[in-house]
Amino acid sequence: MATKNNIRSIRFSDELAELIDRQIGDTFTQKFENLVTKCVWELPNREKQLKDIEEQIKKERERLYRLERATEQLRQLENDLKTTQHYFKFVERRAKAIAEAAEEEM
């Protein structure tokens, strides 16, 4: 490990003391160094991961929106087909009635 020529005295809150104490290490100095190292080296990677995940979420939301729109359009098409089918049955009954009336007149 590197020599430690930097001696400093700092004041900090009890909350920060608890945070430092929860870090890995045998001594206060090791725990403090681990916390600072983690923040300097790991935090940027975590922030990048978070940004990537947020971008994936955004893309998936857009995909979900497109799927919901397509589903709604398919429901509309299904309703249109049912309505058309109903009218075709109506037209078929009328055509059959006209054909039967025409046969009777013959």
pLDDT tens figures, 45-55: 999 999 999 99
C-beta of residue 31 within 8 angstroms of C-beta of residue 20: yes
Cα separation, 77 vs 53, in Å, equals: 36
pLDDT tens figures, 62-93: 999 999 999 999 999 999 999 999 999 999 99
3-state secondary structure of 22: coil
Task: Indicate the helix (H) or strand (E) that contains 71.
Answer: helix 43-105
**55 CA to centre of own chain:** 9
pLDDT at 89: 94
Cα separation, 99 vs 102, in Å, equals: 5
Q: Does the pTM exceed 0.75?
A: no
Residue 16 or 8, more confident: 16
